[in-house]
Structure formats: structure tokens, C-alpha cells
Structure 1
């Protein structure tokens, strides 16, 4: 497991996306007017799922009862940990979309640490509700957020408390609104008619989307693409933090509300940023190990039982200090 010691604000914003940044921005001096705009934006982003009802037991294997989800403010009083699933969705008109990116985050204030890891999109696992094994990123196309959360829970054998869904297409308009972003590219490549030089490069919206999606020319495949997606998100964070024009900020808020959905309420976001974040001193990460295989002519990322047990134990111990 890798331990990354970086400034917490940047790392948490990188992981959690633009929606959480909005609360921090509002607190940095834009005043009551912007605070109210942020609150209204989060209300537009709020989208609960059926499984948010107490004792729903979604996605868990038989015999494992899902604990009741306490509001984050109540968790805060008891310093309880929580989990978040970040979904980057390639969603277009008339198409429910597949999840390009799945990032699991475990936050434990008692340990002063957050744990994060990607689930490769081609991972072969049971799709809950369909009774068949398929690529994990197909769950969203079959059953949206609910089926994705259930499938991830089954794969990890551990409950997910919150989700945040980000429409990858929404990055284009947002990045153009920001005037482009700057990233450091580790190697030169071509994708979708664009050429990307090695080194620090400037990207507009469509270029950034192409940059973040490329994987076939990357020797690390999905893992390399995940790194580029995180680089673009971080660049958006850095650019947004430089805003001083309230009118421009409101344009960004409107854009964000159109492509981010979450079951985290405004009060819960505030609790996370103002009460949990200061307690987290380190961010640890791991990669899910597996191997590529073809079944029926289709490529899958195969994760064996031992590796799934390792990831489950790592997550359970990070959340509870035990074996879950």
C-alpha cells in the first residue's frame, strides 16, 4: 500500500470532485450570496437512491446485514468512518452510459487517514440484479446508480455509504468555461485526432476529454487512464480556486449542477469539509491486482478470490480496525 503525504485540501478535492470544492470556495470569502448559490446547486445535485432507506441491505452477500447509514453529522460526533464511491460516467443523450471510472474512498478520522483505490472498468464480476458475470462498468448501463452501487458492494463484500456521479461529457463545457486547463503529460501520444506532447500541455474541453479517455496506447491500460483522469480533475480544481469573479463562479456552479449527482446532502458536505477533513493527515492508496483474459472473445480484467479477500480486508480494517 502506498502512502501519499500531500496537502490534504488538494488531495481530498482531487478525489471527491468539483461538488465538494464548491463548499470550500463559498467559505473562502465569497459571502452569503455565493453560499446560498452553492446550497441551491447542491440541492439540484442531490439524488437519493432506493437503497438509502435504512436497513435496505443492498448488494451484500446473504447473511451480511448492511448497517443503518447514520447522517454524516451524527457520524462526526462519534468520529465514525464512511465510504464514498466516485463514478465517472460516459453518459450521452438517449444512452444511460457506462462507468469509465470507479473510485472507492474510505475516510477514517480516528486513524487520521483516507484510503482510495480504483476498480478497473473491465473487472469481471457478478452484476447484481442480473445474475450474470460481466464487466463491472456495464452495471450503470443496465441499472444506473443503484445497480452500480450494489455491484460494487458485492464485489468488495462491503457497504458503500455515499456515491458521487460525474458525467464525463460535462467536463467539456466546464473546461471551456474555465479557459482550458494545464496538465503534465508523461508520454506523447495521439488519440481521436489530437496529438498530445510529452510535458506540460494546455487542454481545451474536447482535448481534455480525449486525453483522459485514451488507454489502448498506454502500457498500463486502465491504470494509466485513471491517472490522466485524476490529473484533469486536479487541473480543474486548481483553476477553479483562482476565481475571484462571483459572476464567473455562478456560471461554474450552474455547469457543475448539470453533470454531478450525489446522495450527499448540503449539510453532509459541510460536515465532511469542515469537520472530517482537518482530521485526515495522510492519503493511502492501493491497486487491485488482476490479469487480462478473453472469454468468448471479450476482454476482461480477472481478479481472483485471494485478491478480492485482500481488498475487502484492507477496506474493512481501515473502516473498523477488524476483519469486517
Structure 2
């Protein structure tokens, strides 16, 4: 169908305004949900409804969670974002999922929370080795919840730890992450000191990484001063870099479509999030900008062992104020007062 233009308004100017509105929606959404899940949601609707329909929906993500145990609902929107390190030979999430082998434990656990006005957001990493109480299972590493009871038990566990109600759930495996990095032409990250992992050498300073190299970067834990804690910071750093490159692709229609196509094939989201829901969130968050997103990690008291397992002990005392700031949308102010809990410009 052609565009009917009247008066002195040109077809080019109409197209320019449409592209400008579309880009504002996309930028807001890209920042808000940090590429794991909804990096393409606004673009999906803007480009074609069929791409939205290709996003795999996860059934029963909230089934069986007792409502009386859940934190109260708020006007903010919170996603529990999970990355699985399946070690399988092929994708285990998204429409291309063909592999079923490997661990079902969650290697990346992040809470992305967007304020009701859609102008600010926070992304909080919870170390996968955090020693917590898993409902009905007792003390264990938090990532074991996903292995024991899938999305419902992990959601219930994270809600109990944080006091933050989870509205949506999404997952991507590392095969999907690698594809997404390659779809934007690689990412740029800064490294504090030279190190290496899985045959990939990282030099001090700025490194340009393709998908395979980025995977080695976010998987590394050995030879890093903070071990698994530094790995969590690397995962956030890579995600931030991916967002930057995704934002750059908005001016390139071919590159944008490639990113959206890759995302729609590699992510899975809970089945309460319809195509219309994706569109509505994109519009709601159209004014969100990178400067409005705070990256941080749950406060840690220290490292230790439980039997043969190396674990992370969360700081419950500091967590009271920290999680309250997450719930209140004041995390940026909290991190300003506690800079060690924010994402450094150059993580290890």
C-alpha cells in the first residue's frame, strides 16, 4: 500500500518522522530489557507482527507459586532474565532449539526493573553461586532452583531473596548470546588487566570481540581476582556493550532487521507476554535512555564453602537498604553512596 501525501508534506518527511518515532520506541526498549529478552520487541512490532510471533513463549512460568508468598504488585515492571550455560552443541532456547543436553542451571541471573514512568531502570545481577534458601528444597546455590523446579521455583526464590515481584521471565542460552553479538558485528569492552580464557587472549584496555570471543569473555571466572563475582560484572559489561551496538544498528535498516531476526529466534519469554504486550512496553518506555539505567550487583558479604561447593554469601544486612532501593526506584542514588556495588567502567 502506498502513502497518500497532501499539501506541502512530502513522502520523505512522513517517512522521516515515522522512522524517528520508531527509533525512539526501539531505543527505550533496547535499554530497558537489556537485549536478553526484549531487545527487539519494539522493532518486532514496527517491522512485522510475524517476527513477534516467532518469539518462543514459555508456558506455566508462574504456575504453582503461592500468591500469598509473593511480594506486592507495583506499577513498575520487573523482568527476571536468565542465561543458561547449557554446554550443549546447539541452541536450547528460542525457535532454533534442537539440543537438549547439558545443565539446566542458570548461569546468569539478572533483575531488570523499569520505573512506572519509563524513564529510569535498573539491572541487578545475583551471583549464580549465592547460597540461599530455596522454597521446599532448603539451602543451596540459587541457580539450583532452576534445575529443581524450572522458572516457577527460580522466580519464587528470587522474589524471596529480593522482595521484588517478578512480572515477566525470559531466558537465552549462550549459543543465542553468541549469535546476537555476531548479528551486531561484535562488541567493544574494556579489560582492566591482560588475561585469557578458552584460547582467547584479552589485552588491557579496549577489546573488540566477536560472538565466540565474547562468549569466552563472559564465561571466564578463573584468573580473575573476584572469581564468579568478576564474571557477573563481565556479563553486565558485555550486555551494556551489546546495547550500545544495538543502538547503533537503529540507523541501519538491514542491520536492525538482522538483530531483530536473531533475537526473535534465540530468546524465550513467558507466555503472558503477547505481541501486543511487547508493543505496549515499547511505547511505555520510549523515553528511556542509557544514562537512565543503573547496573549493579546484589551486596555480597563474602565467599566460602558448603561441603565441596564454593559459594557466595549475600550480605543480608546491606541487602535491606539495597533491595528497598530497587523496589523504590532509587538505586542510582544508592549506588552513588555505595560505588563498589555499581558496574565499574573497566571491570576485571
Distance 1:40 1:90 in 2: 29
Q: What is the CA distance between 1:308 and its match in structure 2?
A: 4.0
Q: Deviations over 1:232-254 (max 9, x none)?
A: 23333343433666566544444
- Say if 1:128 and 1:151, in contact at 8 Å, map to a contact too: yes
Q: What is the CA distance between 1:136 and its match in structure 2?
A: 0.7
Q: What is the CA distance between 1:9 and its match in structure 2?
A: 4.0
- After TM superposition, the structure 1 = structure 2 runs for residues 1-324 of structure 1, keeping only pairs within 5 Å, are 9=27, 13=31, 15-17=33-35, 19-25=37-43, 35-36=47-48, 39-50=49-60, 52=62, 58=65, 64=69, 80-91=75-86, 92=88, 93=99, 94-110=101-117, 112-129=119-136, 131-240=137-246, 241-242=248-249, 249-263=256-270, 264-278=273-287, 282-287=292-297, 288-318=299-329
Q: Deviations over 1:57-81 (max 9, x none)?
A: x267xx54555x7xxxxx9xxxx21
Distance 1:112 1:242 in 2: 22
The structure having more radius of gyration, on CA atoms, is 2
Which runs of 5 or more structure 2 residues have no equivalent in the other structure?
1-25, 89-98, 331-348
Q: What is the CA distance between 1:198 and its match in structure 2?
A: 1.2
Q: What is the CA distance between 1:171 and its match in structure 2?
A: 2.2
The SS at the match of 1:84 is: strand
Q: What is the CA distance between 1:189 and its match in structure 2?
A: 0.1
How many residues align structurally?
A: 288
The SS at the match of 1:163 is: strand
- Say if 2:78 and 2:111, in contact at 8 Å, map to a contact too: yes
Q: What is the CA distance between 1:199 and its match in structure 2?
A: 1.6
Alignment root-mean-square deviation, CA:
3.3
Distance 1:151 1:113 in 2: 25
- Say if 1:101 and 1:226, in contact at 8 Å, map to a contact too: yes
Distance 1:253 1:266 in 2: 14
Distance 2:193 2:29 in 1: 23
The SS at the match of 1:97 is: coil
- Say if 2:79 and 2:170, in contact at 8 Å, map to a contact too: yes
| Inter-CA distance 149–49: structure 2 relative to 1 (3 Å threshold) | farther
TM-score (normalised: structure 2): 0.70
| Inter-CA distance 133–249: structure 2 relative to 1 (3 Å threshold) | same
The SS at the match of 1:169 is: helix
Equivalence for 1:322:
none
